[in-house]
Chains A and B, each alone.
Chain A
Amino acid sequence: MAQRGSGRTRLLLVSLLVTALFLITLDLRGVSLLATARSAMQTVAKPFQSAANFLFSPVGDFFGDIANIGQANEKLDRLKERNKSLQEQIATLKDMRGELRQLKSVLDLAGRAQYEVVAARVIAFGPESSFERTVTLDIGSTSGISRDMAVISGAGVVGVVKTVTARSAIVQLVSDPAFRMGVRIAGRQTMGILSGKGSNYFDLELLDAGGNIKQGDVLLSRGSSGNRPFAPGIPVGTVVSVDNSIGALTKRAVVRPFSELSSLGVVAVIVTEKASDPRDSLIPKAPVATPTPTVTVFVTPTPSPKAKNSNVKSAGE
């Protein structure tokens, strides 16, 4: 009985194996029925796959992510380092671009005035707590710098060289409370004494009590004896307010400098200057406003249907 059962199962196995081999043969011969069966299976599976895709896609990479967590951390660290390095490069490039712009403008001013200059980088600002306003330049006597040379930026006067070492120089800024320089109003011969206040604004005291001065006037250096420290015609600043107090012995005004003294990067020390006075030719040009395009819209009212009908009617009549 057991042998009979065993024979039947063996027969079953053989028949199933033969069926499997038959299917393989059919498939290798390219019977389309099996391809149809596969596509039918795909049709059955597709809704489930779509549903699973919707449900499980956020967690599908869970195991892979766990496996790659070490690599991901390394990659993150590398990217952080790279990001830091790129940020440093961006900062350096921005700094260099700013310095280049300043150098271009200072050389432009020196070229127009025909000054022989030595460009320098501001490497330090003096302590404000000492009430002195100074900056340190990265050039000194080895570059031909000496005491009492004028220092300019692309916009105008910055200060005067006060102390020189072999490779550095300390400049007294125009804003220093002890700083004094002779100036004249551009376009006129009205002269005055400019003095620093320790802030970004200067005091101007006219030499002539009857002198005429108004807001917006441009001040230029008057020139010193032997052109030291200042050659004539270097732009200084503009008058922002005038003190017209009755009874004052002299006229006073507040001046804003052309140079941004708090953000100096590249400056130039005037080594030799032209013998002739450039007069008012070095005054910085006022920025030209960019015209904003305007759009004009014309609106024509459309006649209403009612009005149209009444027109038709009246035409019919």
Chain B
Amino acid sequence: MSIFRTSVTISFFLAIFLIQESIVNRIDFFIGGFSLYLALLFSWLATEDKGEAFLSAFIAGIILDLTPSFDTPVGLWTATLLFFSYLVSTYRESLGDLDERPITAALYLVVATSLSILLFVILSGVLGNAIPPFFTVVREISGNALWTLLFSPIYFPVVNRIKVRLFEVRSAR
């Protein structure tokens, strides 16, 4: 991954992180919460090559780990997202062209975000952090899944447009 691409990736996830922290987290979703950050991250990963996907997941994980309100160890989200970036990049071919298959894309995002949150909670418990009550976890994950599904038509077009603007214009030069 080039320095330019890395800096664009950092800037993108930092911007999404700030939007998540400043705006999305302020909204009172009546079931659970909504992670725009994870949804856009998995959309981003689905359009990357393996190596770039790993690096993107690492950058996104580090930014997420530095969330000031988190009590979990720094590196836990990074490890979780690296694991999922491996899964996504390995099985990406079987998903097909997600731009052409919106239902598959929506289901992929729902499953990926839900499982990543679940894995994060499990790993957090393994490392000795307090695990929230079962029903709270279920409510949070199902709420996040619902909102991810509802907003699923926007992620891929947004991510693709940003990538086209930033990377292809540069390569054309």
Q: Which positions in A face B, CB cutoff 8 Å?
A: 6, 8-9, 12-13, 16-17, 19-28, 34, 37-42, 44-45, 48-49, 51-53, 56-57, 60-68
Contacts and interface: CB of A to CB of B under 8 A. Distances in A.
Given A52-B23, A60-B27, A26 B74 contact: yes
B86 to A, nearest CB: 6
B79 interface: yes
B113 to A, nearest CB: 18
B82 A13 contact: yes
Interface in B17-64: 17-18, 21-23, 26-31, 50-51, 54-55, 57-58, 61-63
Contacts of A51: 22
B74 to A, nearest CB: 4
Chain B: interface residue count, which band?
35 or more
B144 interface: no
B67 interface: yes
Max chain A C-beta neighbours (<10 A), residue from B21, B74, B82: B74
B125 to A, nearest CB: 14
Contact of A64 (B30, B50, B62, B127): B30
Q: Which 7 pairs, one residue from A and one from B, show the smallest C-beta to C-beta distance? A: A23-B75, A67-B30, A64-B28, A52-B22, A42-B68, A24-B75, A27-B73
Interface of B: 17-18, 21-23, 26-31, 50-51, 54-55, 57-58, 61-63, 65-68, 70, 73-76, 78-79, 82-83, 86, 127
A13 B54 contact: yes
A21 B65 CA distance: 12
Given A16-B58, A57-B26, A62-B27, A24 B82 contact: no
Contacts of B58: 16, 19-20
Contacts of B26: 52-53, 56-57, 60
Contacts of B22: 45, 48-49, 51-53
Given A9-B51, A23-B75, A49-B22, 12 more contacts: A6-B50, A13-B86, A16-B57, A17-B82, A23-B74, A38-B67, A41-B66, A52-B23, A56-B26, A61-B28, A63-B30, A66-B30
A38 B77 CA distance: 14
Nearest to B68: A42
A54 B28 CA distance: 16
